[in-house]
Structure 1
Amino acid sequence: MQKYSPNAYNSQTIAPQPPAKAKRLLSKLLSAGQAALPFHRTHQQIPQSILEDMTPEHWREMEQEDDGDFQYNWNEQFIQIYVPQLWGRLYLFLAALAKVIVLYISVIVLIGQIILIPASNYDIPAFISSSILYLEWIFLPCALIWAQFELSTNFRTNLWFLRPRLLFEFNRQTGMVTLYRPGRLVRFSHPFVEFDCVLTSAPTQLGFMRYGLMLVHRYQGYRRGIPAALLLSKRSEPRDEMLRLWNFIQCYMDVSQPLPDMLALEAGRLNDPTTAKVDKKTGRTPRYWRDMDDETYYRSITQSINHDDSY
């Protein structure tokens, strides 16, 4: 069983924090009308989109594929968030474009050339020559790009630039929050209690409000913060979901409380000291969520969400 670091976040023993000095990013956010959210004593409240992001059947399939050695980037030690690399995004765009050219554009071009044969006085050599040029310079390169993408996807042999990069990490054991540069280089890393949480909002082109959640270091003048809203699978979520997310983050980092009771973190409950004690006392089934069928799972989380009226 893993042990907590002396610096792990404990809501029951928070040392007095010094006043803030440099707050360039925080001041900018707050001056734009954004709201700062306070630390508070949390409870087992989880955003709906996190609960619906994975089902028990999907989890069991991943366990079977990895022969029981399945490792998830949400566990009792840390929550890691990955984002696509820039070159990977460009490659995915090119692969999608190549597929369209091979399956659709090429057929249109071929039909167009056949239709134009009579207009060229049945110049068959010219038709063959232009077709060969199209095959060599357009069709074959696109076919190779699309084929490589399909093979790498089916056999899980993605090129390095297709693999997502680690953006940030919440570490429950050490109490640290870390933002990474490309190549897993640390941009900054500080204790969780030194961050201020800001609820951001901005209108969309259609006039709807789009909310976000940003963790900003209280004492350093960093121009970047932790985009905590990326923990949610959907880009746009209502305000209440963001408030639940802040509650969830605090609950996860707080070693005085058990891990949030959810599917993605269930496998690590026995390895977390506080959670293991609580589960032993309550007699919780170790695979309560993972052995559940999907229909029962959705019914259970729907009931828990409907009963949640904290916000």
Structure 2
Amino acid sequence: MADESWYAQTAYGSKEVPRQEPPAKRQWIMRFAKVRLPWGNTDKVTAANLLEKFSPKKLRHYEEIKKEREEKIATNTYDPSPYELIDFHIRDDHEQFRYASLPASSHFWLYMRAFGKWIFYISFIFSIPGHISLISLVNESWWELTKNLFIEYYSWLLGIPLLCWALGSIVVKHFPSLWIKPSRGPIWELNRRTGLVTVFDYKNNGEYKKNGTIGELTAPFYEFDAYIATSPDSQGMPMNVLYLAHRYRNIMINFGALLCPGPEVQPACALWDFIQNYMDVSRPLPDLPQYEEYRHLDPTTAEYDRRIGRNPRFWIDMDDATFKQVVREMHQRVANIDTFQRPNLMAAYVTYVD
């Protein structure tokens, strides 16, 4: 394990997993419509949405903002935005992958804008053939029919979603104080430096209601297994989502907010590969845009980059056309992932009873 003075003794290394006790037989609810994924033999892949989240264009934009801020700080002219002082409980760097969700009040405006936009488009597109058919069936002129339908029908069908879209867009763009608010705290954390997984407990901890103290359920990463859970959507289509479940305690993470449930299992498998690669300190950090500015701070990654001569601005200086090609290639690699053909390497350290 590289640089033990920086990594905690509990840090996870894929070649240094301790022997563990056999877990109890899983309850039927944990076996029903859930497939356990094997450990090890990971590919250098991730769910494509995590790659697309930070494009080189965005990285350059953030770099410019950071540079401008540092220049103003140096000349004592910097006036920090009030939002910079808010702890949103989100962190994704060389040490921690900590996830938090915006509060319901924030999601209200975001959903109003998104759903208003798409409902308007869908309603508008589907109303066109119906409108054309009515013109050929009634004796009214095109203008009279359109005017009457707008008053009695289109004003509701199109007007309400258009109003929601406009109102949501105005609030999101011009009134950030109405929707940019921190959540009560983080939901889960994967810690590369310590090798620990933490689920933050609000419901079963009386101290949170009393004084705001958040409970923490923590265990080593190697004591968890990944599962793909399948459930039907409203149309009966199977939707798959990745879970991380502790073998010995009731600690579970649903990654559905990070990677939306979908009909394909490959994206969830790719996310499991990414998680293993991120937590494994015997390997460098996953080479993704969001980690480029942190790579020199992680000992294993810094040594790997020095050895191969990696360009420290590989992502940030990438042109848009090349990045689009990289994204397309990642989609293809995810589609071809071989997770279910791999042996479960964790079986060498723990005896599964089911």
Please indicate, yes or no, whether the TM-score normalized by the shorter chain is above 0.5: yes
Report Cα offsets for 1:162-203 as digits up to 9, x if no partner: 557421111100011111145671331111111121110112
3-state SS of 1:59 partner? helix
Structure 2: unaligned runs, 5 residues or longer: 71-83, 115-166, 203-211, 339-354
User: What do the CA deviations read for 1:85-112 (whole angstroms, capped 9, x no partner)?
Assistant: 245445767999xxxxxxxxxxxxxxxx
Name the residue aligned to 2:187: 167
1:77 to 72, 84, 95: 95
Q: State the secondary structure of the residue aligned to 1:295.
A: helix
Further displaced range: 1-10 or 257-266: 1-10
Match for residue 137 of structure 1?
none
Aligned 8 A contact 2:109 2:179 in 1: no
Whole-Å separation in 1 of the counterparts to 2:7 and 2:241: 30
Residues 84 and 165, structure 1, Cα contact 8 Å, conserved in 2: no
Letter in 2 for 1:277: E
User: Secondary structure at the residue paired with 1:196?
Assistant: strand
2:235 to 206, 230, 246: 206
- Specify the code of the residue in structure 2 equivalent to 1:10: G
> Following TM superposition, by how much is the alpha carbon of 1:42 offset from its aligned partner in structure 2, in angstroms?
2.0
Distance 1:159 1:206 in 2: 32
**CA 1:283–1:237 in structure 2 vs 1: closer, same or farther (change >3 Å)?**
farther
SS of alignment partner, residue 285 of structure 1: coil
Task: Describe the shift of the 1:270–1:94 C-alpha distance in structure 2 as closer, same or farther (beyond 3 A).
Answer: closer
- Listed one character per residue, the Cα deviations across residues 138-174 of structure 1 (whole Å, up to 9, x for unaligned) are xxxxxxxx79x96786475467855574211111000
Normalising by structure 2, report the TM-score: 0.63
Runs of 5+ unmatched residues, structure 1: 97-145
Cross-structure match for 1:40: 40
State whether residues 165 and 184 of structure 1, in contact with CA within 8 Å, keep that contact through their aligned partners in structure 2. Answer: no
AA at the equivalent of 1:186: G
1:193 aligns with 2:222: yes
The amino acid across from 1:29 in the alignment is M
Report % sequence identity: 28
- 8 Å CA contact retained: 1:85, 1:165: no
Give the aligned partner of residue 248 of structure 2: 219
- The 3-state SS of whatever aligns with 1:83 is coil
Aligned to 1:61: 61
Letter in 2 for 1:294: D
The structure-2 alpha-carbon separation of the partners of 1:176 and 1:158, relative to structure 1 and needing over 3 Å to count, comes to farther
Which range is displaced more, 165-174 or 69-78?
69-78
* DSSP 3-state at the match of 1:248: helix
- C-alpha distance in 1 between matches for 2:9 and 2:316: 32
RMSD value, Cα: 3.3
Aligned length: 256
Alpha-carbon distance between aligned partners in 2 of 1:304 and 1:90, rounded to the nearest angstrom: 33
Give 1:45 deviation, angstroms.
1.5
1:28 positional shift: 1.5
